[in-house]
Amino acid sequence: MKVIAATSNPGKLREIVRILSPLGFEVIDPPDVLKVEETGSSFLENALIKAKAYFDRFGMPTVADDSGLEVEALRGYPGVYSSRFYSIDFGGQEEVRGSKDEANVRKLLRLLKGVDNRRARFVAWVVLYTGDSGVFGYGECRGTIAEEPRGSGGFGYDPVFVPEGYTRTMAEIPPEEKDRISHRGAALRNLVRAVQRISDR
């Protein structure tokens, strides 16, 4: 199946291509980046909003995800605000020095300074939207927040997220290994299983 990826994030696009291509999907990079207002109150709502917007614009089956980090000691924040946490007035806003990813990480570590409970999880919902229906997949990856960033791979909060059973951060884990354990990898594989179940009916 040929699908368009509803994302402007090059890191997400690389992961979607790596995971879906071996499973029989040809993933197309959108010719234009759409600015989609993510007004949903959940990851699933935001994923569907993006999928519908890209389908309406380009007229082909669309894969969209919305994902983020939920930190236990912060009552589930950053959550749906993960990509713009630096600007949310939760314990103060963070000045952007460098990239927005770096600002998000600095704010997270500032809020967790001296906090013993560093449990967290990455969550992802993925939608395949075809115009008249949507198929969904969910995935999560549990772990803890490191005291400081480590590693140069990945993106977002990867440099401070240590998956369960690991001592390395996501940013220190090779891409293929990350795909096997990540929230987005699990969500995309569950999406493919759902599509296959529908096709087999």
Long-range pairs of 111-114 with CB within 8 A, sequence gap ≥ 24: 111/74, 112/71, 112/73, 112/74, 112/145
CA distance 61 to 63: 7
Residue with tokens 């790596």: 18
Of 48, 4, 47, 62, nearest to 29 by C-alpha is 4
Helix H, strand E, coil C: the string for 39-51 is CCCCHHHHHHHHH
Residue 30 sits at φ, ψ, to 5 deg, of -60, 135
200 is catalytic: no
Beta-strand (E) ranges in 2-43? 2-5, 26-28
Reading the block at residue 119, the tokens are 């449990």
Task: Select which of 66, 101, 158, 179 is catalytic.
Answer: 66
Q: Which residues are catalytic?
A: 66
